[in-house]
Amino acid sequence: MMGVVAMTLIYIAFVWLVFFKFKWMRFTPAWGLISGFFILHLLIVPLVGTRMQSPFTSDVRVVRHTVQLIPRLPEPTLVTEVHVSDNKPVKKGDLLFVFDQTLYKAQVEAAQAAVVAAKQNVKVLEADIAIAKDSVKRAQAELDFAQIQQKRFTTLASQRAGSQESADEWTTRVSSAEAALAEAEESQKRAELTYASQIDGVNTSVIQAQSQLKQAQYYFEQTEMRAPHDGKIVNLQVQVGMVSGTFRVGAIASLIVDKDPYLISAYRQENLINVRAGQPVVVALNTHPGQHFKGKVEEIWDVSKRGQFLPSGDLPLFPSIPIHTEPRLPVKITLDDPTVPLGIGVGGATLILTTDGPFTWIGQISLRTYTWSRWVYPLPI
């Protein structure tokens, strides 16, 4: 910058000495054109330096996180209470809406009964195992007796001391006793397998019932919607008597979160060549005409929708004549003073100071011209 000033002063001194002081040469229109051309090019240098060293933009907006308040209920449910109103602040945990709890309370009670029944059923399974074991013992005893009797009558029949019919009868009884024993053993095995169906020592039927109870309790809790953050309710779409929850994507209100607001400033791509995170920023907000605030660069988002292609089988198409202007890159900026009110969507202007050099003065003039013009008259600049 100082070099530009020095060259300008030297050239002015040269023109004054040569053409006006000593009049060695006559100042012709040609020399006037050359002088104007020379000075114009010298003036371009600080303008270019300003764009690179202190980029300025009025394409600024305040961004806040928003939460779409959507009822998390599995069925259409009647709204019974509304505890908020539009454009009013709320605190985290404040009760916002209450939905009809009749159906969901009944589901919780049914699930609680199912858990009790499942736990009792485990005790029944223990008793079934004991009964099955007794049945196996009884069937085994009957089989042993039948086998002894079969052997005895078979021996008597072979010695012609008894009838063959009696021997055959006990042979049939042995087969029947064997089948009864097998059936009893299978019943015992089935009871033991049912009882052994466990996860970490808890029967699966109990776990299933407890899971259904948790689900029922979750939906019962969702009948009271509370604020997830400190913020402000806007776009309130629900009133008492309305049915909500039919469409899972339908929000009944929006919550603008108070925490962590920031500004997005759109800059031309070449203007960000020297911009880095942490650099100071001077901010002018349209809601505070005539004032400016200090901030800093948080992030530079090197993204643009123009570089995104949706998955498809079509080849990329680049029109010869661009339909849109060159896309700008967003820069995330935060204010040093967190108490400055930042309404969502508020516009303004930002000046990034990449250096403390002399190139910043033109940008400073641009910023102050912008903010004072908003005070005098909101000119579209």
The pLDDT tens digits of the residues spanning 303-348 come to 887 777 778 787 777 766 555 567 889 999 999 999 999 999 999 9
pLDDT at 336: 93
CA distance 360 to 113: 75
pLDDT at 332: 96
267-283 burial, b at 16+ Cβ within 10 Å, e below that, comes to beeebbeebeeebebbb
pLDDT under 70: residue ranges of the chain: 1-9, 11, 15-16, 18-19, 38, 41-49, 153, 156-157, 159-162, 166-168, 193, 195-196, 198, 245-250, 319-325, 357-359, 377-381
Question: Which tokens belong to 366?
Answer: 């641009």
Q: Does the CA dihedral 213-219-221-223 come out positive or negative? A: negative
Question: Which tokens belong to 202?
Answer: 């808890």
pLDDT at 302: 87
What residues contact residue 44 under an 8 Å CB cut-off, 6+ apart? none
CA distance 310 to 257: 31
Which position has the token pair 């055959």? Answer: 168
The pLDDT tens digits of the residues spanning 357-376 come to 666 777 788 888 888 887 77
SS3 259: coil
- Beta bridge partners, 253, equal 69
pLDDT at 334: 95
Phi/psi of residue 146, each to 5°? -65, -35
pLDDT at 76: 87
Cβ(247)–Cβ(35) below 8 Å:
no
User: Which residue, 219, 195, 192, 216, is CA-closest to 114?
Assistant: 216
Question: Which tokens belong to 345?
Answer: 């969507």
